[in-house]
C-alpha cells in the first residue's frame, strides 16, 4: 500500500498537489481538474526536466475546459532534487505505484508523457489497463544514432490501445518521417525535442503549441474522453 498525502497548492479548487509514496521514493501529482470530467490524462516528464515543460503545461491549461482532468506526475528522483534520472525499471516502478491515485476518480486514465515519460507510458500501459497512450516527443533513437531504435516500446504502447504520437518536425531524437510504417505522428512544424520553434519560423511558439493541444484534444474527443473543441474534429 502506498502512503499518500494531499494539500491544495493554489486558491483554485481545480488545482491541487498530492504526494504519493512509491518504492522508489515520494512522487508528486499536480492535478488540474475539469468540471464534469470524462477522463484523466496522466503525463510524466522527461529525463532532463520536470512538469514545467512547455508541452505539459500547455495541455494542463487547455484540456480541463474540454472535460479532461490532467495529472502531471513528478517522478521520485525529480521530487528528491536529483539531477539524473534513474534506470528505466525504476522509472516504471515509480509510475506504476502512482497509478492507483490516478485511477481513484473512477474515470478512464490515458497514460502519457514526454520523452522518457512517453517511454514509461508505453512500457506500462497494458499492465496498468490504460485507456489509451499519448507519446509526446517520443525519443525514437538517441540523436545521430538511428540504428538504436526504441520502436519496440511504441509497439507495447500500441498493443495497449489507441496510441497518439506528437513529434516536433526538427526533433533530433526522431523526426516524424523516421517512424516505422504504421505510425504516423502528428507533426508540430519546426519544433525541436522540446517543441520549441525558431524565432524565424513561419509560425509562432503559441501557434506551435496550439497544434499540439488541438491534436490531443481532437484525439481524446474522438475516443469519447473529451468534449469537442470549437472547430475541432469530433471523431
Task: List, for residues 199-227, the tens digit of each pLDDT value.
Answer: 999 999 999 999 999 999 999 999 999 99
202: left (phi over 0), alpha (psi -120 to 50) or beta: alpha
Q: What is the pTM of this model?
A: 0.93
Instruction: Give the pLDDT score at 230.
Output: 76
pLDDT, residue 4, reads 52
pLDDT of residue 231: 67
* Strand 186-188 versus strand 163-168 pairing type: parallel
pLDDT band at 7 (very low <50, low <70, confident <90, very high): very low
Q: What percent of the chain has pLDDT over 70?
A: 92
Residue whose C-alpha is closest to residue 139's, from 157, 154, 127, 155: 154
Amino acid at each position: 500500500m502506498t502512503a499518500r498525502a494531499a494539500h491544495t497548492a493554489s486558491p483554485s479548487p481545480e488545482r491541487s498537489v498530492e504526494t504519493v509514496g512509491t518504492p522508489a521514493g515520494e512522487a508528486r501529482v499536480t492535478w488540474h481538474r475539469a468540471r464534469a470530467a470524462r477522463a484523466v490524462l496522466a503525463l510524466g516528464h522527461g529525463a532532463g526536466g520536470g512538469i514545467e515543460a512547455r508541452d505539459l503545461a500547455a495541455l494542463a491549461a487547455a484540456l480541463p475546459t474540454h472535460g479532461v482532468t490532467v495529472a502531471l506526475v513528478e517522478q521520485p528522483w525529480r521530487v528528491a532534487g536529483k539531477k539524473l534520472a534513474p534506470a528505466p525499471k525504476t522509472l516504471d516502478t515509480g509510475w506504476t505505484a502512482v497509478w492507483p491515485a490516478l485511477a481513484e476518480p473512477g474515470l478512464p486514465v490515458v497514460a502519457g508523457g514526454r520523452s522518457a515519460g512517453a517511454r514509461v507510458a508505453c512500457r506500462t500501459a497494458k499492465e496498468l489497463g490504460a485507456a489509451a497512450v499519448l507519446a509526446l516527443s517520443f525519443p525514437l533513437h538517441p540523436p545521430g544514432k538511428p540504428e538504436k531504435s526504441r520502436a519496440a516500446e511504441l509497439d507495447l504502447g500500441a498493443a495497449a490501445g489507441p496510441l497518439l504520437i506528437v513529434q516536433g518536425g526538427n526533433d533530433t531524437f526522431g523526426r516524424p518521417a523516421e517512424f516505422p510504417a504504421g505510425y504516423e505522428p502528428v507533426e508540430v512544424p519546426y519544433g525541436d525535442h522540446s517543441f520549441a520553434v525558431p524565432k524565424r519560423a513561419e509560425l509562432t511558439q503559441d501557434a506551435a503549441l496550439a497544434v499540439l493541444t488541438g491534436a490531443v484534444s481532437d484525439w481524446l474527443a474522438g475516443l469519447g474522453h473529451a468534449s469537442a473543441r470549437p472547430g475541432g474534429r469530433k471523431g
